Structures are given as C-alpha cells and as structure tokens.
Amino acid sequence: MSLKFAKFLLLLACPLPMFAQQVAIIPQPVELKLNEGNFIIDKNTSVQFNASQAALKPAVDFFINAVKDVSGIALQQNKPAAKKVEFILAAQTAFKPEAYSLTVTPSLIQIKASSYAGIFYGIQSLLQTLPQVRTNAALQVPCMQINDEPRFKWRGMHLDVSRHFFSADVVKQYINLLAMYKMNTFHWHLVDDQGWRIEIKKYPKLTSTGAWRVDQNDKVWGSRPQAQPGEEATYGGYYTQEQVKEIIAYAKARNVTVVPEIEMPGHVASAIAAYPQLSCTQQPQLPLTGGNYNNMSSNYCAGNEEVFSFLQDVLTEVIALFPSTYIHIGGDEVDKGPWKKCERCQARMKKEGLKNEEELQSYFIKRMEKFIVSKKRKMIGWDEILEGGLAPEATVMSWRGEAGGIEAAKMHHDVVMTPGSPCYFDHYQAGPEGEPLAIGGFNTVKKVYDYEPIPKELSAEQHKYVLGAQGNVWTEYISTAEHLEYMVLPRMLALAETVWSPAATKNWNDFSRRLQFHFNAFDAKGLHYSPGNFTVDIKPAAKNGKLEVALFSEVPTASILYTTDGTVTTISSAVYTKPIAVESTQTIRAVTMQNGKIMNLQPVEQRFVMHKAVGANVQYVHQPSRSYMADGINSLTDGVRGKSAVNKFWHGFNKNNLVATVDLGTEKNISRISLGCLQHYRDWIFLPTAVKFEVSVDGKTFTEVATVQNDVPVNTLALTIKDFTAKFPATNARYVRVTAYTLEACPKGHPGEGKPAWTFADELEVE
Ligand code: ACM
Ligand code: ZN
C-alpha cells in the first residue's frame, strides 16, 4: 500500500471535526489548529492587560474600538470577569520580532508577544474571525491555537501621490488596509515631476508652486503638450508637516513604518518649477502639467553646489519628521541628456575624474548617502543606483525585473524585491477589456500569489540580503480613492501572504477559498476590489495548421460557460470541458460560474479571424524576447490581432530584426500578406523601418513580393497599430517569409536615445 493511500485511510478512520465556522485568515498563519467550541465576545467580556506596560495601551484601544465598531459593545478593562481577552507582553526573548501566539478557548482569548507589533498582529488575526461590519451577529471566535511570525521583515506597499494627489484621509485608509494584512512598510512616493507633495519650511515654493499643475484629463498619460504661458496651475495639493506627523503616528499604531521617498536627481520637474536655478539650464519654467516632460528641465544639476545644500536642507526636515531607518532617494530613470549639455556638470565630471554621466549619477547618490548616514539613517534607492557604482551602504529596490536585486545581493547589499511583473499594481489585473484604463502590463492576483521574492540565482548564504518584497502603485491613471482600492484589492492580499507565510505552506486553492470571505468583507464595507480573477483567460494555441482555444479560470472551484455563435452567455450556455477547435471567423465569449451564479459583469470575449495562415507553424531566426512571448511561438498565426495591452498579444524583439518563416502546410494560392506592428513611444516600442515579404514553394528559394516602408513619424506618441501590407498578383506558395527591420535605436529626444528600440508584431495575415 502506498504511503499516500495509508494516510487517506487514516483520515477516514478519524474524520476531521466539522467546525461551524471556517477560519479565513490572510496571510495564512504559520501554525493554526482549530479546536472544538467558541469564545463569544459580549458585554461580560473584560480586556486584561498590565496597565504598567504603556506600550500595550494603543493596541488595547485599537481592539476595543474595533469590537465596538462591529458590535456596539464597549468592552470592560481589567475587571473581574468569567471571560477574558488577555494581552501579554512577554520578555524580549520569548518571541521573535513581530511574532505572536493567539489562544482561544471557550473562556479565554490570549494574545502573547514580545513586541507591540506581535500583539497588534494577534489582534488582526482575531479580528479576521469576527463579523467585518456592524450587525446583530454574535461575536463568535472559534477555539484555536495560532503560532505565527513573518517570513520577511520588509512587507511593503508603495503609493505615488505625485501623479495624482490623495488626501491625508485617503492615505490613512490606505495604511489601515496595509495593517489589516500585516504589511508593515508604507513607501510614500512624495516627489515626482507632476507634483511636490510635502511641506518643506525652508523652501515654501516647493509646495506653493511645485504642488500644483495645469489640470489634465487626457486619456493617454504623458500626451498633453507643455503648458502655454498664462495657463493656470490649479490641480494638486500637498501634506503639511502637521499632517505628515499625524499620518506617521497613525501608521505607528498599526505597526507600519512610513518610508519617505524624496526623488532625486531626476523626476523633479516639480522642484525645478519652484526653483529653476537647481536645473542645468536655470531657465524659468512653464507651469507643471500632467504630461510630457521630454522637453522640460526635470533633473537637478549635478555640477551645482547649491543643489546639494538644498537637498541636505530638505532631507534634514524630512529626517526630523520621519523616524524610519530608511530614507528613499529615488534615483530611477534619470535622463542624462541635460547633464551632457551642461558646463557645470561636465566640469564636475572632469574635477572628480568621472568617466561618464552614469558615474556622475553615482557621485550624486554617494554624496547623498554620506549625508543620510551622518544622520544615522540608511539610504534606499531604485536599482538604477547600481549604475556607475553603488553607494557603499545602499539598499536597492529592484524594479526593472529582478536583475538589480540579484546583483546587489551578490555584492552583499540589502535588497527589496519589487519587480514590475508581478509587483506593479498599476498594471492590469484582468481584461484589459472591461477594466479601467491602466498603464499597461498584466499582473493577475495569481501571478502575485505565485511570486517568490528570493531569486533562485542567489546562494543560501545570500538569501538574508532579501529584506522582502513590495507592491508599487503608480497613479498616472489612478485619480480616486475608489480606483486606488480597486487596483490594490485583492492583489495586496496575495502579496501579503507571499511575504508573511512560509513558502512551503502557500496554497492557491486554499487562498482562493479564504479570499471569498474577504470579498464578502469588502462588499460589506463598500471597498472597491477587482473580481478580476473570476474572468476567463482565452488562450489560443496554433499548431500544425490547426487553431484550438483553451479557456482557463484562476478560480479552482469555478466552471466556465461559453458561446461561439455570437450570442450572449447565459446560465444555460455550454459548459467548457475541453479546448474548442476554431475553423471559421468567430467570437468566443466566456464567463465564470460559481455556486450557480455568473460572476462577471461582462463576458470576456475574443474574436478569431480566419485567414490562410491561421494555425501555421512559425520559425524565427531570432527568438522573440522571453518577456513578450504572447500565446507561444505561433502567436503570429493564432487568428487574434494584437491590441493595446503590450504584453498580452505581441511578440517583442529587441535589437534583432524579426525574421519569420511561416509554413502554410500545403501550397496555397495567395495575393495578400499583412503584418501588424505596434508603436508605443513611452515603452520604447517603435514601428519597424520597413517590412519585406517573400514567398516560396519549397522553403529554400524565396521570391520577394514587396518591401513596405514605414510612413508613421518615429516620434508619434500615441499608441499606433500599423498593418504593413503587400498586395500582389495571385501566386502559389507554401512558405511566407517576413523580415521586419527594427529601428536601429531609440530616436533623438527619447528617454532611451541611442539605446536599442523594440519591434512588436502581431498577426501575420495571409489571403
Ligand atoms: C519606477 O517605476 N520608475 C521605479
Ligand atoms: Zn548641470
């Protein structure tokens, strides 16, 4: 008998007790044992704690208020009572930092920890077993034993308050949401081109000028032209130092450390608008906009001493406000163009023996680190601070994938992992059809859940340098609190479990089950969230002349209903069981059904267009980038046209030309070939300069039928899809070869000027 089978029989022999209540705590505790019975919190319950331990009081108050909120019951404190909720702050050595135990019996709830953090997290776990809003329901806590501690010490969420301003109240709500899920670091992105958001007493114009911009309602972020003289800057806002202190205190009571980001030396058009002498040109600036900063001064001058004294003054005020060990200095995406043209910057490079502008940036950051370290704090910055030489004690936040984090950890520097995929919560989480417009990308809740913050490239000894992971919320496309909630929920819950729970115990199916409780809680509380993981993924697979379409839902317990005849999906539509063969032009619509209910507001739909190359095998000379593989190697012939979402449909090529040979399977009579290509200036994606089309009968000798030149200007900002089309007298061919000539480099004036451009292609249509 196999061991597995023996275990199964054992389970049958002693069936698990059925508990009235299932526990749905997120993040999943390290150890959780449910026992029989309940503790009912009622007005005869007393909260017990050692009143001489002042550190406990905020936690006690937090708990008492939370119980009052969901029941109206005002619990007694330190009174003789038959039923007690007891908080015990144990000796320092008894528990690890942030660890706690939670014991529930019918007469006692006891939370024990060596720290305020641990007590607070015990309370959070307890609260997740109670009703989430005020009802008349009994406050019934199942008997259980929890022993719990976090896997990582940096469990972060970031918020960009520059691209859109969020009020102090919204920031507090955000912090509260973090705390509910045991996230302990709030990375507050206070400075960017589009607004300076923190009062600095010594430099009042930073907020009187730098916090305001000409309103922008353009659909495409960054497409707004510069402000015109006379246009008024009326949109924005900032936090006073009093508000900042209040927010920090609010966070502290919830074991959240607020890490301020004072961006430098780039992304600071807001500071330059206020104090133009800090830029290389030193020219007065037009009012800020929500738009395009390509032609404006948005860097500090690295050759001007005044810049350094200014930044030290700013950081002195920031450090006085924020108790955080870490001070974030940004450091990302610096356009080195202005420094190349600036006499002072060039003189600095000469004087300091700096070989290039990367080293100038490194000089800048190292000087700032020295200052921060002199104030007994640590500097953290985005992974660009590796370029030109990493500052000696810097901590690196890896966002351009994991490479920066890996490199820094190998150099024995601490790192926080926040790779764009899957840690950018400004990316799409479903759709993109039916979703609010987002900056791009595609990070589903499952992708976040499956993320492992320790890269496999690191040795066991190097693991300790990974402090944890963080979700980033850039707000170019997010302007309201409701939209912000929607982007964060439920992905933050998946990240919370990733950074808290042991990797070995993570379980997507069980997380999905627990998530339902939290969705119900969000509904009750009026919190906005994406039910995105209910949507169906429609995945075509083209191979050997056939096109099959598979449907997936990330919800393990759901079934999928679909139609292929253009009709609306209903409860009686076909139930999906196996891949659907697509043989003619058609639209597949699909929905997820759970507990007899259709879960989508609108069905996911995909149109498949038949042509003579659908299903054909594609052979590339250079493989597409691993990051842009779309549906697989034959995505060019899957009957699906690429749309706006950059990493969903398109095959991407960097540096190399796209050279693809398509085998139509048999000789066919053809007279038209078309290759769809994408231009997305902001993402470094440019239309090819030309596309050559060739045909062949035997796959060896090819005849050119046409070369089509690109006629779209290279600096077109708007997302553009262009079909390069060859029409020619009908001819018989089995093979079609296309060569799309990649633009040699990003053009002049582009942030990536001189660096390799991307070519993106989808669908190769043959008629
Ligand atoms: C970043 O996303 N620019 C750090
Ligand atoms: Zn300069």
Domain contains 13:
no
Among 484, 502, 525, the domain boundary falls at 525
pLDDT of the residue at 216: 67
**Structural domain boundaries, residue 389:** 154-525
Strand 100-104 to strand 76-77: parallel, antiparallel, or no bridges (unpaired)? unpaired
d(CA 125, CA 28): 9
pLDDT at 733: 97
CATH of the domain at 32: 3.30.379.10
Give residue 19's pLDDT: 41
Q: Which pLDDT score is estimated for 17? A: 38
Q: Could you tell me if 592 and 598 are in contact, meaning their C-beta atoms sit under 8 angstroms apart?
A: yes
Statement to judge: residues 276 and 363 lie in one domain:
yes
pTM: 0.83
Q: Which tokens sit at 198?
A: 């923190």
Mutating to test ligand 1, I would choose from 380, 399, 402, 684 the residue with most ligand atoms within 8 A of its C-beta, which is 399
Judge if 137 and 260 occupy the same domain.
no
Of the candidates 525, 555, 572, which is a domain's last residue? Answer: 525
Mean pLDDT along residues 35-55: 95
In angstroms, the CA 88 to CA 65 distance is: 19
In a domain, 201, yes or no: yes
Burial 361-399 (b: 16+ CB within 10 A, else e): bbbbbbbbbebbbeeebebbbbbbbbbbebbeebbbbbb
Q: What percent of the chain has pLDDT over 70?
A: 95
Can you state the angle between helices 116-127 and 57-71, rounded to 10 degrees?
Answer: 10
> What average pLDDT does this structure show over 91-120?
97
- The reported pLDDT for the residue numbered 532 is 75
Q: Are 686 and 652 in contact (CB under 8 A)?
A: no
Q: Are 260 and 246 in contact (CB under 8 A)?
A: no
Among the listed residues 174, 172, 155, the one whose alpha carbon sits nearest the alpha carbon of residue 475: 174
Alpha helices in 526-563 (DSSP H): none
Inter-residue contact 273 to 285 (CB < 8 Å)? yes
Given a cut of 60, whether residue 3 has pLDDT beyond it is no
Percent of the chain with pLDDT over 90: 80
CA–CA distance, 415 with 154 (Å, rounded to integer): 10
Residue 499: phi and psi, rounded to 5, are -90, -10
Within its chain, how far is the Cα of 658 from the centroid? 30
Burial 452-479 (b: 16+ CB within 10 A, else e): ebbbeebeeebeebbbbbbbbbbbbbbb
Length of the chain: 767
Q: What is the pLDDT of residue 226?
A: 79
Q: Is 462 left (phi over 0), alpha (psi -120 to 50) or beta?
A: alpha
Q: Interhelix angle for 168-180 vs 481-488, to 10°?
A: 20
Q: List the CATH number of the domain containing 453.
A: 3.20.20.80
Which of the pair, 425 or 222, is modelled with greater confidence? 425
725 burial via Cβ count (<10 Å: 0-12, 13-18, 19+): middle
**What is the pLDDT confidence band of residue 15, given thresholds at 50, 70 and 90?**
very low
Please check whether residues 427 and 438 belong to one and the same domain.
yes
For the segment 700-724, what is each residue's pLDDT rounded down to a tens digit?
999 999 999 999 999 998 889 999 9
Largest Cα separation within the chain, whole Å, is 96
- Any domain includes 95: yes
Tell me what pLDDT residue 596 has: 83
Ligand 1 atom nearest to CA at 267: 3
User: For the purposes of burial, counting CB atoms within 10 Å of the CB of 20, is it exposed (0-12), middle (13-18) or buried (19 or more)?
Assistant: exposed
473 alpha carbon, closest ligand? 1
pLDDT at 7 over 80: no
pLDDT at 501: 98
**CA-CA distance, 726 to 708, in Å (whole number)?**
7
**105 inside domain:** yes
Residues 6+ apart with CB under 8 A from 517: 24
The answer as to whether 11 is a domain residue is no
- Listed range (166-180, 215-229, 437-451, 752-766) with the worst mean pLDDT: 215-229
Pocket test for ligand 1, best of 382, 426, 683, 684 (most atoms within 8 A of CB): 382
pLDDT digits (tens, 9 = 90+) for 233-270: 999 999 999 999 999 999 999 999 999 999 999 999 99
Nearest CA, atom 2, ligand 1:
399
Ligand nearest to the CA of 357: 2
Q: Please tell me whether residues 554 and 623 are part of one structural domain.
A: no
CB 728 within 8 A of CB 622: no
Same structural domain, 143 and 201: no
**Identity of the amino acid at 720:** T
Q: pLDDT for 313-370, tens place per residue?
A: 999 999 999 999 999 999 999 999 999 999 999 999 999 999 999 999 999 999 999 9
| Tokens 């708007």, located at residue | 718
Strand, helix or coil for residue 731: strand
Q: Residue of the nearest CA to atom 3 in ligand 1?
A: 332
Average pLDDT over residues 690-702: 97
Residue 278 CA to ligand 2 centre (angstroms): 9
Q: Are 534 and 597 in contact (CB under 8 A)?
A: no
pLDDT tens, 496-514?
999 999 999 999 999 998 9
Q: How confident is the model at residue 13 (pLDDT cuts 50, 70, 90)?
A: very low
The helix or strand, by DSSP H or E, that contains position 407, with its residue range, turns out to be helix 403-410
Distance 473 CA to ligand 1 centre (A): 10
Asked if pLDDT for residue 379 goes beyond 50, the answer is yes
Q: What is the pLDDT of residue 295?
A: 62
Residue that has been written with the tokens 């190292």 in this structure: 366
Distance from residue 348's CA to the centre of ligand 2 (Å): 9
3-state secondary structure of 141: strand
576 close to 594: Cβ distance less than 8 angstroms: no
Q: What is the reported pLDDT for 18? A: 41
Domain at 765, CATH number = 2.60.120.260
Confidence of residue 683 (pLDDT cuts 50, 70, 90): confident
Contact between residue 109 and residue 142 where contact means Cβ atoms under 8 Å apart: no
Residue 74 burial (10 A CB sphere; 0-12, 13-18, 19+): exposed
Contact assessment for residue 410 and residue 458, using Cβ atoms and an 8 Å cutoff: yes
Provide CB contacts within 8 A for 202, sequence distance 6+: 313, 314, 317
**Mean of all residue pLDDT scores within the chain:** 92
The yes-or-no verdict on residue 410 having pLDDT over 80 is yes
Which H or E run includes 65?
helix 57-71
Residue 764 bridge partners (DSSP): 675
Distance (Å) from CA 281 to ligand 2 centroid: 7
Residues lining ligand 1, CB < 6 A? Answer: 332-333, 382, 399
Give which of 99, 97, 160 is closest to 471, Cα–Cα.
160
Token duo for residue 684: 């470094």
Least confident of 121-125, 373-377, 403-407, 566-570: 566-570
Domain boundary residue, one of 506, 525, 544: 525
- Mean pLDDT of the region 84-105: 96
Say if residue 585 is in the same domain as residue 629: no
- Per-residue pLDDT at 595: 78
Ligand 1 test: best mutation among 332, 335, 421, 426, most atoms within 8 Å of CB?
A: 332
Claim to verify: residue 275 and residue 411 sit in the same structural domain: yes
Same domain for 249 and 295: yes
- Between the CA of 424 and the centroid of ligand 1 the distance, in Å, is 9
Taking 70 as the threshold, does the pLDDT of residue 220 lie above it? no
Mean pLDDT (whole number) for 685-699: 97
Q: Which ligand is nearest to the CA of 340?
A: 2
Give domain status of residue 144, yes or no: yes
The pLDDT-based confidence of 217 (bands split at 50, 70, 90) is low
Atom of ligand 1 nearest to the CA of 472: 2
- 758 and 654 in contact (C-beta within 8 Å)? yes
Q: Is residue 250, in this structure, part of any structural domain at all?
A: yes
Ligand nearest to the CA of 398: 1
Instruction: State the total domains in the chain.
Output: 4
Residues 676 and 719 in one domain: yes
**478 and 588, same domain (yes or no):** no
Residues 244 and 305 in one domain: yes
pLDDT tens, residue by residue, 529-538? 998 777 888 9
Confidence of residue 566 (pLDDT cuts 50, 70, 90): confident
Active-site amino acid positions: 333
CA of 370 to the centre of ligand 2 (A): 21
**CA 380 – CA 404 distance, rounded (Å):** 13
Cβ pair 625, 633 in contact under 8 A = no
Pair 88, 108 in one domain: yes
* 357 inside domain: yes
Which class for 110: exposed (0-12), middle (13-18), buried (19 or more C-beta within 10 A)?
Answer: middle
Give the residue among 76, 118, 75, 120 at the shortest CA–CA distance from 95.
118
Contacts of 598 (CB under 8 A, 6+ apart): 561, 569, 570, 571, 591, 592
